[in-house]
């Protein structure tokens, strides 16, 4: 019998990926997992309102309140203590996690990135900056990636990806919304469910999905 996984979602902004997780949970699509805590890196994140509406415990651990990333890491670990968190999901979380958190939650932190990694990722590639670079490249497709987090920014093993077309006349706003709606909001809940079901095996820097792929 698998242990029901307690999920903590980390947010910084609008929280549309958090909302996708909440909605998927309500539809029964997150197997063997439940969102028990939301941690926001600033007190203006609209994601906080989404957690409140869904009656999910939440806390602001403001990145600005800590001088160093080591101190911020310690504050994050303190917020998670006694909550028996099995999985951390970074959903539009804009702060960098330090080595202490990554080590403690090795292979138990998932991030959603708005490009097809290894393209347009790494330091400095976040939010609309990603889509600006994608449009400048002239590529005809882009997409999103759900991946494990390690010490390399956007460097952990890829869990799921989904491609979306780039249309004539797209700008960063139009493209960001298409990537979120058609890719991020679909693959993040699915990736979280697969990890909660313990159906993801990590082989080097790659993953395999165990059991019938539905
Ligand atoms: C979006 O750019 C998304 O691609 C990335 O973080 C940004 C905000 O996401 N993951 P959210 O609406 O706060 O989930």
Q: Give the pLDDT confidence score for residue 214 in this predicted structure.
A: 55
Is the CB of residue 16 below 6 angstroms from any atom belonging to ligand 1?
Answer: yes
Q: Give the pLDDT confidence score for residue 1 in this predicted structure.
A: 85
pTM beyond 0.85: the answer is: yes
Q: Which of 58, 82, 113, 147 is catalytic?
A: 113
Residue nearest to atom 12 of ligand 1 (CA): 16
Superfamily of domain 5-209: Formyl transferase, N-terminal domain (3.40.50.170)
**Main-chain dihedrals φ then ψ at residue 112, nearest 5 degrees:** -110, 125
Residue 29 in tokens: 């699509």
Alpha-carbon separation of residue 89 from 92, 108, 171, 213 (angstroms): 9, 8, 28, 22
d(CA 34, CA 8) in angstroms, rounded, equals 9
The tens-digit pLDDT sequence of the chain (214 residues) is 899 999 999 999 999 999 999 999 999 999 999 999 999 999 999 999 999 999 999 999 999 999 999 999 999 999 999 999 999 999 999 999 999 999 999 999 999 999 999 999 999 999 999 999 999 999 999 999 999 999 999 999 999 999 999 999 999 999 999 999 999 999 999 999 999 999 999 999 999 999 965 5
Q: Does residue 211 sit in helix, strand or coil?
A: coil
Is the CB of residue 92 below 6 angstroms from any atom belonging to ligand 1?
Answer: yes
Per DSSP bridges, beta strands 58-60 and 33-40 are parallel
Cβ proximity of 2 and 85 under 8 Å: no
Is the CB of residue 42 below 6 angstroms from any atom belonging to ligand 1?
Answer: no
- Of the residues 160, 184, 185, which should be mutated to test ligand 1's pocket, given the most ligand atoms within 8 Å of the CB? 184
**CA angle (172, 48, 111) in 5-degree steps:** 55
Cis peptide bond N-terminal to 22, omega within 30: no
Residue ranges covered by each domain of the chain: 5-209
């Amino acid at each position: 019998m698998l242990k029901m996984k307690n999920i903590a979602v980390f947010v910084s902004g609008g929280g549309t990926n958090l909302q996708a997780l909440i909605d998927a949970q309500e539809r029964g699509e997150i197997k063997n997992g439940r969102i028990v805590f939301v941690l926001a890196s600033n007190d203006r994140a609209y994601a906080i309102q989404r957690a409140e509406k869904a009656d999910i415990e939440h806390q602001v651990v403001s990145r600005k309140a800590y001088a160093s990333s080591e101190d911020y890491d310690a504050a994050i670990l303190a917020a998670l203590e006694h909550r028996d968190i099995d999985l951390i999901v970074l959903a539009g979380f804009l702060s960098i996690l330090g080595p202490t958190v990554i080590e403690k939650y090795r292979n138990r932190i998932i991030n959603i990135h708005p490009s097809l990694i290894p393209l347009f990722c790494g330091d400095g590639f976040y939010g609309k900056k990603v889509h600006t670079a994608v449009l400048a490249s002239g590529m005809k497709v882009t997409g999103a990636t759900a991946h494990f987090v390690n010490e390399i920014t956007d460097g952990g093993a890829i869990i799921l990806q989904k491609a979306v077309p780039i249309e004539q006349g797209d700008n960063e706003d139009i493209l960001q919304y298409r990537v979120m709606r058609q890719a991020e909001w679909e693959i993040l809940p699915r990736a979280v469910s697969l990890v909660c079901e313990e159906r993801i095996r990590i082989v080097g820097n790659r993953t395999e999905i165990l059991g019938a792929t539905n």
